[in-house]
Amino acid sequence: MKAATCVADITPKCAVHLCGYVGEARKYTAKGIHDHPLAVSLLLEIDGVRLLFISIDVITLGGEKAAVIKDKIQKILTIENDHIIISAIHTHSGANGLDDMTMFGTPDNPEYFAYVCEQITGSIQHLEQQLCEVQAYITTGKVHGYYSKRTDKHLPFEDHAAIITFIHGDTVVAAMCNFNCHATVLGVENMLVSSDLVGKVRSLMKEDLGVTPYTFTGASGDISNRQYRQGNDFAELDRVGSGIAEILRNMGTYEKLGLHHVQTVSYDHTVSYDNTWYFKEYQKGIRDAEEVLSRKNISLDEWLATSEKTLLEKKLQCEKVEFHVRGVVLHLGDLTIVTFPGELASTFGFQLRRKCKTKHFLLIGYANDYQGYFMEAQEYGKTYETKASNTPVGESERIAGEIGDLL
């Protein structure tokens, strides 16, 4: 097996808006750079089969934009389309321009998208030549005390975490890092470009590993730091990021990970429905949100009603909804990886992990497209995530079941 990695600096050189929040400040362009956003690429060659994983420090990546990037990559590397996995880290302090649709009224940014494409393709120009023989090792553990299920910290949540290192001789030449949390600590008032939680943890793990790890979150659609939050500024980001990194670096002994016999299976689930059936529900949701927002001195969590109202108003503009939920299942010997184009609830992460036949299981969220939240049926109508979802009640269960049948 061979591995190589590279990092592209995608710090914007043009004016950008920050994506992810509704608020007066976010109507204007970013005021500066706090930390430099990156695109981290990891190339693996297993029994002659290549897999390329890329994480981009933006909120989401639209399917059409992902297809453009893949096309550019395939002009540089000999690799199958399904073997290119491009995921967003979901920072809410990242630049606009990589989603297919505007988010909360934030405009598109073709100039920044073109720049990101240029930086990524430039960084991988010589990645093929950097491939070297490696042995993979993995350590796993659980993260507690910094994030939990949003609604109740006592309920089960996808607390699994993993570090995979690729070692040549005595040197770590590449790595993967997974923990499962809505990767946003910074609040709406922040106007500086930042990679937020994933960026903070990744930079700390680089100090430990000696290489920048490809870092991603999995089934974390209902997970955040809300129940442990002590603020929403850079001091809180330092506290949470440092705490998570400390847990990751002390998870225990690494064991050999056998990666071989690559098998790829794709899935494609169509979601289609008459949206007018739900208009009365949306209208009630808007009234409820307005009532919350009319109160004095509302909390940060109550303020989310602003985003909820905006999304529900947008839903009323569409009579027919149809989209595809596409991804791949990678069978890699001792490891199975599932890619998912959105934010999957913890319960489905548990479900897929239980059905997985290999010793180790990873899910990469926000991958190759973004289709919103996919939450369990019993939560519908109770949370922001279910109200914001474009997926009807019960549909997420069907999607998870179809993916589970491929494991």
- pLDDT tens, 174-214? 999 999 999 999 999 999 999 999 999 999 999 999 999 99
Count of structural domains within the chain? 2
Question: Per-residue pLDDT averaged across 377-392, rounded?
Answer: 90
Same domain, 299 and 177: no
54-68 mean pLDDT: 98
Residues 288 and 151 grouped into a single domain? no
More confident residue, 160 or 306: 160
**Length reported for the chain:** 407
What pLDDT score was predicted for residue 383?
85
Residues 64 and 156 placed together within one structural domain of the fold: yes
Q: Which of 61-65, 113-117, 121-125, 314-318 comes out lowest in average pLDDT?
A: 314-318
* 39-64: average pLDDT: 98
pLDDT band at 105 (very low <50, low <70, confident <90, very high): confident
What pLDDT sits at residue 125?
97
**Structural domain contains residue 236:** yes
Judged against a pLDDT cut of 80, whether residue 102 lies above it is answered with no
Choose the weakest-confidence range: 166-180, 220-234, 267-281, 306-320: 306-320
Residue 374 predicted with pLDDT over 80: yes
**What's the pLDDT at 387?**
86
- Mean pLDDT across the chain: 95
Q: Is 251 contained in some domain?
A: yes
Grouping H, G, I as helix, E, B as strand and the rest as coil, residue 99 is coil
Claim to verify: residue 160 and residue 304 sit in the same structural domain = no
Q: Is 115 helix (H, G, I), strand (E, B) or coil?
A: helix
Shared domain check, 93 and 184: yes
Q: Hey, CA dihedral for 193, 197, 199, 200, is it positive or negative?
A: positive
**308 contacts 387 by C-beta, under 8 angstroms:** yes
**Residue 113, pLDDT above cutoff 80:** yes
Is residue 270 one of the residues assigned to a domain? Answer: no
Reply yes or no on whether the pLDDT at 97 is more than 90.
Answer: yes
Is residue 180 assigned to a domain? yes
> Is 200 in the same domain as 151?
yes
Contacts for 78 with CB less than 8 Å, ≥ 6 apart? 50
Q: Which residues pair with 264 in a beta bridge?
A: 330
Answer whether residue 207 is part of any domain: yes
Residues 89 and 158 in one domain: yes
Lowest-confidence range among 105-109, 135-139, 258-262, 373-377? 105-109
Q: What is the pLDDT of residues 118-162, one digit of tens each?
A: 999 999 999 999 999 999 999 999 999 999 999 999 999 999 999
> Is 266 a member of any domain?
no
At 122 the pLDDT is 98
Are 53 and 118 part of one and the same domain?
A: yes
pLDDT at residue 22 tops 90: no
pLDDT-above-70 percentage for the chain: 100
Q: Is residue 64 scored above 90 in pLDDT? A: yes
> What tokens does 323 get?
């989209």
Question: If you average pLDDT over residues 62-78, what whole number do you get?
Answer: 98
Where a domain ends, among 251, 285, 318? 318
231, burial (CB in 10 Å: exposed 0-12, middle 13-18, buried 19+):
middle
pLDDT-based confidence at residue 40 (cuts at 50, 70, 90): very high
For residue 84, what are the domain limits? 2-261+325-406
CB 316 within 8 A of CB 281: no
Which tokens go with 389? Answer: 């979802």
**pLDDT at 218 exceeding the cut of 80:** yes
- In this structure, the answer to whether residues 211 and 293 fall within a common structural domain is no
Same domain, 22 and 122: yes
Torsional sign, CA 13, 17, 19, 25: positive
For 14-38, the three-class secondary structure string (H helix, E strand, C coil) is CCCCECCCCCCHHHCCCCEECCCCE
Residues 167 and 306 in one domain: no
**E strand or H helix that includes residue 172:** strand 171-178
Domain assignment present for residue 271? The answer is no
Q: What is the pLDDT of residue 307?
A: 83
Asked whether residue 57 is domain-assigned, the answer is yes
Where is 332: in which H helix or E strand?
strand 320-332
Q: Which helix (H) or strand (E) holds 165?
A: strand 160-168
Looking at the fold, whether 329 and 313 belong to one and the same domain comes out as no
Measured distance between the N- and C-terminal CA atoms of the chain, rounded to whole angstroms:
23
54 neighbors 85 (Cβ within 8 angstroms): yes
Task: Give the pLDDT mean for 282-286.
Answer: 91
Of 24 and 18, more confident: 18
